[in-house]
Amino acid sequence: MRNKLLILCTILLCISCAKKSSMETRHYQSRGVEQAAALWTEQDGTQEEFDAFVEEHLCKTDSERVALYKSLSRILENCYQSADMLTVELLRPTQLTNASEPLEPDWIMSGYSPLAHFSDDMFSNKLAFVTIINFPHYTLEEKNTLGKKWTRQEWGMARLGDVFTTRVPAEVNASIAQAFANAENYIAGYNIYMGSLRTEDGRQLWPNDKVLLSHWNLRDELKALYADTAQGQVKQEMIYQVMQRIVRQQIPKEAINSGDYTWQPYSNTLQDKDGNTRSSEAEPYTRYERIMDCAHALMTEDPYCPTAPTAIIRNFDQGVEITADELDSLFRALVGSEQVKTVASVIRQRLGRDLRPYDIWYDGFKARASLNEDALTEQTRQLYPDADAFAADMPRLLERMGFTASDAKDIASHIVVEPARGSGHAWPCLGRQESARLRTRIADTGMDYKGYNIAVHEFGHTVEEVLDMYYIDHYMLSGVPNTAYTEASAFLWQQRDLQLLPQAAESGERLAVSGDEVLDQFWSMYEIMGVSLVDMAMWRWIYEHPKASAKELCEATISIAQQVWNTYYEPVLGEHDCVLLAIYSHMVNSPMYLPNYPLGHIVQYQLEEHLAQFTTPRAFADEYARIYRLGRLTPKEWMVQAVGQTPSITPILNAVDRVTSSRPSQD
Ligand SMILES: [Zn+2]
C-alpha cells in the first residue's frame, strides 16, 4: 500500500511539475499499455496480474525512461551481435574458402538460427512487455509526421517500439516457411529444355543440352541474343512465346523440366521422338496455386500482428516503410514519363527496327562494352592476388573517394575481407564489437575485372554499414531505412570502380556516372517497375478475394498485367493485351520483394544529384558520410534530412534528360 501511494505521488508530482512533457509522457504510457494488453495472453497472467505488471514497470519519470532506453539498447546490441558472431563462426566452413572443408555437422548447423526463439523468450521473460509499455509502436504515418519534430533520442525510442510488435506462434511461422519452401522448390525446378523447342516449320534453334531456368535464365538468354545478328530475333520471339504460355498457364506439363518431347510453342503442340503429334494437357494452375498457398499461410499470421494486420502492410508499411500506394504512384510517374519515349527512340535507332514487347530487356546500353576487359583483368589480378591484398588497399580506395587519411584508416579497420565459396556479398555488423564483412570470390589467378567490379559494390555496402554503426549516436538508429538505401551506397561506389583504380588519372574532380549507364539503369527501372506494379496489384486482389481459386487468380493476374501493359507499355513497345509483365518468378517465391530493386536506383539518383553540388572529393566524402550517419529513420525522413526532399523520380528523369539532350541525333 505504501509503495502504491508512493508511485501515485510520484506520478502526480511529475505531472504537476513538468507540465510541458507530462502530457506527452502520459500519452506514451497509455498507448504502450494498450499495445501490451493486445499481446498479453492468459498464459502471461490474469488481468490483475497485467495491471500489477504495468504499475511496477511503467516508468514514472523521463529520466527513468531514458535509463531504461539505454539499458534495452545495450541488451539488444549484445543479443543481436553475439548471435550474429556465432552465426558467422558456424557458417565459416560452408561459406568461406579459407576455412576447413565442411563436414556433415557444419551443413546441419548452417541452417541453425540462434535468434529463432528470441522473440518468444523475450515475451515469456516479459522483457518484451517492459519494452512495449514504455516504448510504444508508432505507425509509419505517425513516424513520418510526428518524427519531423523528434530528437535523435526520440527516434531511437520509436525504433525500440518496433522491436516487439507481433507474437506469431511457432506453428504459424512453420506453415509460412513450408509454403515458401514449396514455392521455392517449384520455381527451382521450372526449367525449359531449349533443345526441345521447335519452330512451326520444325527447326531446332538451340543445342540439345541447353536448359534454362524460368524466368531468370530465359531473360538473360534473351538479353544476350541482342549480340546475335543472325538468329537473335527469331530466338527472342520464341522465348517471348514460351513466356506467354507460362503466364497464361497454357504450357503443356510435359514441357516443364523435361526434354522427352519436342514442343512447338506457337501452335502449342507436342511431338514424340518419332515425330508423332501427341495430345497433351496444360499444367494445372500450379504457378497460381503456389502463390495462393503463400497468401493463405501469410494470412494466418494476420491476427497475431495487431499493428499491421495484413501481409501487404507488414511488407510495405513495416518492412520497406513506404506504403504500397506511394510506391504505386512513384512507379506510375516514371513508367508514364516522356523520358521513356525518348529512350525508346534511342533504342529503336540502335536496333534499326520497331520495338517488340521483349525489348523491355534491351541490353545494348552496355556502358562497359567499349572497355578492354582483358587489360583491366590483367591490372586487377596484379593488384589483388588474394582477399588480403584487397583489404590492404581499402584505405587507399577511401582516400581516393575523398576521405581523410585518418578516417579512411579507421573505417577500413572495421571491415574484414574474406574469400567466399559462393558469389560475393556483404555481411553487415550488428554491434560495435564485430566487423562488417566483405565477401569476394577470387580465383587462384587473382581477382578478375568482374570480381573487382562486384567487390567495389560490396565495399560500398560495408562502408555504409561501418558509418551507420560505428559513427552513429544511437544504437537503435544503426543501419539504413531499407535495403534500397544500402544498395544506393553500393551503386555509388560500384559505378566509380574504374576511377578508383590506381592507374586512373587523378583529375581532382568528383567521380561521376557515365551516360550509357544512366540510360541502362533507367530502362531497367522502366521494366521492373511495371513488374512491381503487377505484383502489388495482384496482392491487393488476393486480399480482396481471399477464397479465390488458383484459376481465378490466374485470370485476375493476366487481366492486371494487361491493364498495366496497355496503359504504359503498349504505347512504347506495341502489342495490345501483352502479359509479359507477369513472368517474373519472384512473384511466386518472393512476394512483394520486386519494388526494392527500382527503389535502390531512385535513392541512388537522388543522392547523386545532391552530391553533385559538392565539387571536391573531400566535400563529396564528408557529405556522403553525413548522410549515411542518419541511420534508420523512415525512408521519407531520411531522404528529407539527406537531400531536402522526399523520395522522388525527378533526379533520374533529369539525368536521362541531360544524357539524351547531349547525344548527337542519329537520324
Ligand atoms: Zn548490393
**489 CA distance to ligand 1 middle (Å):** 9
pLDDT (0 to 100) of residue 149: 96
> Residue 76 has which C-alpha cell?
539488444
* CA 458 / ligand 1 centre spacing (Å): 6
Query: Can the peptide bond before residue 215 be classed as cis, meaning omega within 30 degrees of 0?
Result: yes
* 299 C-alpha to ligand 1 centroid (Å): 30
Ligand 1 centroid–CA 405 distance in Å is 26
Residue 487 C-alpha to ligand 1 middle, in angstroms? 5
Q: For residue 486, report the distance from its CA to the centre of ligand 1, in Å.
A: 7
User: What's the angle, vertex CA 70, arms to CA 66 and CA 73, rounded to 5?
Assistant: 135
Distance 540 CA to ligand 1 centre (A): 28
Model pLDDT, residue 171: 86
Give 302 Cα–ligand 1 centroid separation in angstroms: 31
Ramachandran area for residue 467 (φ above 0: left; ψ -120 to 50: alpha; else beta): alpha
**Cα 472 to ligand 1 centre (Å):** 22
Separation in Å, CA 593 to CA 274, 500, 539, 590, 601: 45, 32, 12, 6, 15
For residue 380, how far is its CA from the centre of ligand 1 (angstroms)? 21
Which cell goes with 450? 568482374
How would you write 551-612 as a 3-class SS string? HHHHHHHHHHHHHHHHHHCHHHHCCCCCCHHHCCCHHHHCCCCCCHHHHHHHHHHHHHHHHC
365 Cα to the center of ligand 1, angstroms: 21
Q: pTM of whole model > 0.95? A: no
Distance 135 CA to ligand 1 centre (A): 33
The confidence score (pLDDT) of residue 307 equals: 84
3-state helix, strand, coil split of the chain in percent (to 5) is: 65, 5, 30
Half-sphere exposure of 647 (CA within 13 A, CB side): 30
Task: Give the amino acid at 297.
Answer: A
* Residues 561/582, Cβ–Cβ less than 8 Å: yes
* 87 alpha carbon – ligand 1 mean position (Å): 21
Find the 461 Cα to ligand 1 centroid distance in Å: 7
Separation between Cα atoms, residue 35 and residue 51, nearest integer Å: 13
In the reported structure, the alpha carbon of residue 438 is separated from the centroid of ligand 1 by a whole-number distance in angstroms of 11
Round to whole Å and give the CA distance between 56 and 194.
69
What spacing in Å lies between the alpha carbon of 452 and ligand 1's midpoint?
14
How many whole angstroms separate alpha carbon 31 and alpha carbon 135?
Answer: 9
What local confidence, expressed as pLDDT, does residue 296 receive? 96
- 460 Cα to the center of ligand 1, angstroms: 8
- What is the 563 CA–ligand 1 centroid distance (Å)? 32
Weakly modelled stretches of the chain, pLDDT under 50: 1-28, 507-510, 666-667
Query: How far, in Å, is the centroid of ligand 1 from the Cα of 2?
Result: 59
**C-alpha cell, 151:** 530528437
Please state, in angstroms and rounded to a whole number, the distance separating the CA atoms of residues 461 and 445.
26
What are the backbone dihedrals phi and psi of residue 605, each rounded to the nearest 5 degrees, phi first?
A: -70, -30
Q: Which phi and psi angles does 421 have, rounded to 5°?
A: -75, -45
